[in-house]
Amino acid sequence: MNEATQTLPDNIAELQKLVLDLQVKVNWYEEQFRLSQHKRFGVSSEKGAVHPDLFNEAETFADDHAESDAAVQETITYTRKKPGRKALPADLPRKIDRHELPESEQICDCGHALHVVGEASSEQLEIIPAQVYVIEHVQVKYACRGCEEGFKTAPKPAQPIPKSFATPGLLAYIIISKFLDSLPLYRQEAIFKRYNIELSRATMSNWVLTIAELLKPYYDRLKHHLITQTFIQADETTLTVVQDGRENGTKSYMWLYQSGEHRPLYPVVLYDYQSTRAGYHAKTFLSGFKGYLQTDGFPGYHLMESDALVVLLGCMAHARRKFDDALKALPKESRKKSGKVQLALSLIAKLYAVESEIKDLTVEQRYLVRQQKSKPVLNQLKAWCDQSVTQVTKDSRLGMAIHYVINQWKYLTRYLQDGALQIDNNTVEQRIKPFVIGRKNWLVNQTPRGANASALLYSLVQTAKANNLEPFAYLKYLLTELPKLGRHYQAEQLDQFLPWNLVEKIQPLDKVA
């Protein structure tokens, strides 16, 4: 036997290993391609935690004995929405237009007079465009006839921007248009031109920056009340600030912190601009906070655990999203037979079914139901992940999802410790979405000052919504009342203007007529 023949088995083994490695790489690239295609052309909504194939859960897992042992057949019911147009709100003001036949037509073909036998009613929705008018302040002057030296002038109401023609209502309108309706200032400039008003974007930009400075103490007071709470949720997203002293295109970050409790007594939503994603930004912002902090698993938040005053929570929605990505990365013909992915999604769906069941219960009741129903499902999910982690490649989408759950397990299960805690971070993601939508419209911020102003004003708008206050009325009230305090006042004086103290003074968001 020659030397070439002796080395043949080793060469075959090496080639087989190479083929296996290449096949793993090909599978990975195919997953990335299918997932990319789905993100670009597929449905992006994550509404509903149950995949359609899970309605036949037992049949789906019949081909995989390991998964079928864990699967439990369920009956899932739902109420189908009835088609048709919704009725117009009953509290909207109504103008009645009565339509009657002229007297000449109130004659029947037989020659007799017609008489009223009933009425038919239908409704249409009308709208009146914004009304713009000028407020002229006439200050009456008084003089003394006796000494001929005494002289007084009636003062004007305190204004948010002294010597400016901008009223609290106009300023609130501009802020709401940009930071709630995502209308850039250049579009607002064009809208004002239709009313024959020359109002440049530069002027409006200066107004926005000035108002942000006026409201900074109020923002700080909201932050004070947020830090004193026991459960906060956090998230962050990117933005570009052009003139921040770094290279153009360098990413900055908008951080978001909000009250996380189930039905919080004092809802607060705060944005915070920072130039990087370093974890010390969160540690600095939340200095003095003691309690639970729920995040998406970003390692930067782990700095918060260093002083043992903060307990981190994970986000089950992120775990589910990774399994959902693993399902989308499979070929279409394989998705219905993908027992492993389907089982994970099924177990997570059961956890969310429990959350739906307890959403209207008290904190104590939520805790007890979770211990009874959620904890066994979590134990089942953990056992399945521990069993499956050796059966999939780490770099595959399913492998990444399983490793995420195992690595984040202690954070994902901590919501069981208190009924006030949430299973996921979805609400804070919903709060950060308005900024993401606005970012698509104006793309960048020019300066850090502008980014900080945006953070503050987004905070006030979203805090108003969190407290069920109509944002325009809320901002107009603040810009009318805060200037009356003058330049020097105690921070505690701002408490009377905090949103939960204005419920009786400002129209609720769900009652807007």
Beta strands at 310-313 and 291-294: parallel, antiparallel or unpaired: parallel
Stated pTM of the model:
0.81
Give the burial class of 464: count Cβ atoms within 10 A of its Cβ; 0-12 exposed, 13-18 middle, 19 or more buried.
buried
Kindly tell me if the per-residue pLDDT of 451 is higher than 90.
yes
192 or 11: which leads in pLDDT: 192
- Whole-number pLDDT of residue 25: 65
- Whole-number pLDDT of residue 222: 97
Buried b (16+ CB within 10 A) or exposed e, 288-297: ebebbbbbbb
- Whole-number pLDDT of residue 63: 41
- Whole-number pLDDT of residue 233: 96
- The structural domains of the chain, with segments of one domain joined by +, span 214-314+425-511
Quick one: CA dihedral 487, 492, 498, 502, positive or negative?
negative
* Residue in the block written with tokens 């499956």: 388
The DSSP result for 100-123, as a single string, is ---GGG-B-TTSPBP---------
Write out pLDDT tens, residues 353-385. 999 999 999 999 999 999 999 999 999 999 999
- pLDDT band at 83; cut points 50, 70, 90: confident
Q: From 191, 84, 174, 75, select the one nearest 129 (Cα to Cα).
A: 191
Kindly tell me if the per-residue pLDDT of 9 is higher than 60.
yes
- Whole-number pLDDT of residue 461: 96
- Whole-number pLDDT of residue 215: 96
Kindly tell me if the per-residue pLDDT of 49 is higher than 60.
no
Paired residues of 50 in beta bridges: none
- Whole-number pLDDT of residue 68: 39
- Whole-number pLDDT of residue 38: 61
Q: From 387, 356, 389, select the one nearest 370 (Cα to Cα).
A: 356
- pLDDT band at 72; cut points 50, 70, 90: very low
CA–CA dist 235, 44 (Å, integer): 20
Kindly tell me if the per-residue pLDDT of 483 is higher than 90.
yes
Kindly tell me if the per-residue pLDDT of 300 is higher than 50.
yes
Q: From 261, 422, 297, select the one nearest 351 (Cα to Cα).
A: 422
- Whole-number pLDDT of residue 46: 60
- Whole-number pLDDT of residue 11: 72
Write out pLDDT tens, residues 309-357. 999 999 999 999 999 888 887 776 555 556 778 899 999 999 999 999 9
- Whole-number pLDDT of residue 334: 59
